[in-house]
Structure 1
Amino acid sequence: MYDLTKFQRDILYVIAGQDEPHGLAIKDELEEYYENEIHHGRLYPNLDTVVDKGLVEKGEVDKRTNYYTITARGRRELEARREWENQYVGDVFSSSE
């Protein structure tokens, strides 16, 4: 996970939170979060990177549409990231005021 860009990490979160999303569904979620248009030339090379790293699997719906799923390794990486984050900000979000 340490060698991913924040954009690639966000792609993992989006894929992990959906059931076999296709590229445009991932794009829509990221655009909502970033509040900016995500161009295909940015999205798909980054999707290919997380696939190449074994964090995501890519399947084919039809000749034009692919779907993506998080792998066991990808899930472990996200869990490790969450544990790392929690050691710094876990108490901030769990305390009630």
Structure 2
Amino acid sequence: MYDLTGFQRDLLFVVAGQSEPAGVAIKDEIEEYYREKVNYGQLYPNLNTLMKKGLVEKGKKDGRTNTYLVTNRWHRELQARLDWERQYTA
């Protein structure tokens, strides 16, 4: 996770915290946290980056709606990140 932006890490937490959210649900949640508008031109390229890195998978809810799910790789990388953080915060 060292090579992700803060925005990308936040997207991962939002995806992990919901049950296969659609892009709109992710956008709404991240806007609430940031307290500012997030445009789709920012959201979807970052989700695509997370998919290319193997941290998020995209599925289909219906013909128009994609859903997102964190992968097992994300769980491993999150654990490694938490272990790294603990050595400095313990």
TM over 0.5: yes
Say whether 1:39 aligns with 2:50. Answer: no
Alpha-carbon distance, 1:16 to partner = 1.1
What corresponds to 2:61 in structure 1?
A: 61
Residue equivalent to 1:86: 86
Q: Determine the structure 1 residue equivalent to 2:74.
A: 74
Q: Which is greater in Rg?
A: 1
State the percentage of identical aligned residues.
62
Unaligned stretches of 5+ residues in structure 2? none
Instruction: Show structure 1 runs of 5+ residues with no match.
Output: 92-97
User: Deviating runs (4+, > 4 A) in structure 1?
Assistant: none
Whether the aligned pair in 2 keeps the contact of 1:23 and 1:67 (CA below 8 Å) is yes
Aligned partner of 1:13 in structure 2 is 13
Q: In the alignment, residue 34 of structure 2 is paired with which amino acid?
A: Y
Q: TM-score, normalised by structure 2?
A: 0.92
Q: What is the Cα deviation at residue 80 of structure 1?
A: 1.5
Secondary structure in 2 matching 1:19: coil
Q: Distance in 1 between matches of 2:29 and 2:80?
A: 23
With normalisation by structure 1, the TM-score equals 0.86
Counterpart in the other structure of 1:29: 29
The count of residues paired between Structure 1 and Structure 2 equals 90
